[in-house]
Amino acid sequence: MCGRYTLATPADLISEHFDLPEPPEVVSRYNIAPSQETLIVGARRDRRRAAGLAVWGLTTSSAAASGKKPLINARIETVDQKPAFREAFSRRRCLVPADGFYEWRIDPHGKTPHYFSLGDSRLFAFAGIWNQPAADCDLVTFAILTTEPNQIVGPVHRRMPVILPRDHYDLWLAKRELSRPETEIFATPFPETRMESREVSPLVNSPANDTATCIQSVEGS
């Protein structure tokens, strides 16, 4: 799964990377957690991209009415089959800007957080889906898709977020259903040779801690 991530890249670089008409209003975030509001990028009807804020945790009007918890992740292998995700995957895909994410390794001593990035804090995008639970409400919610881990994430966790190559952004945002072969392309784990990993402080365990200290390497890791 993916339960925490970072977005500390300056707004002008976000705008350039995602080809946005203007820089989004963002502040540096080092511990984005479920239920919090953060940035997503989608395509308009004219195919131009637009950025906006959304709450991490996909929900629908029926799920909210029944008291079901919002869903923060969706498996890419079954997203087109699950009722909770099927329509959003078909019609409402988005890019989730990030520059790193956390996973926890479970061992006899407890849970140890690790931070994964593309090196040099480079910006990238998770594959996301979004929904508006009610037509008369401005609230937008989203989930991040996950896939099998690559060799750098695998020793820490059995799943990893779907990281999209930049040249696949347009296909992911296309206003049409994806074919099964296209979906399988996105299910391919991002290459471990292009990623970095380090053990970080347990400070990240609490969403109340949202500073650059969260991503600093633990000495000796």
pLDDT tens per residue across span 7-59: 999 999 999 999 999 999 999 999 999 999 999 999 987 778 999 999 999 98
DSSP 105-120: EEETTEEEEEEEESST
Query: Which overall architecture, per CATH, does domain 4-215 show?
Result: Alpha-Beta Complex (3.90)
Over residues 106-135, mean pLDDT? 90
pLDDT tens per residue across span 164-201: 999 999 999 998 999 999 999 999 999 999 999 999 99
The mean pLDDT of the chain is 92
177: left (phi over 0), alpha (psi -120 to 50) or beta: beta
Over residues 154-168, mean pLDDT? 97
Q: Quick check: is 103 catalytic?
A: yes
- Give the global pTM: 0.95
Question: Which DSSP category does 12 fall into?
Answer: H
Q: Quick check: is 94 catalytic?
A: no
Q: Say what the pLDDT of residue 96 is.
A: 98
Q: Which among 103, 182, 184, 199 is annotated as catalytic?
A: 103
Q: Which among 2, 25, 94, 184 is annotated as catalytic?
A: 2
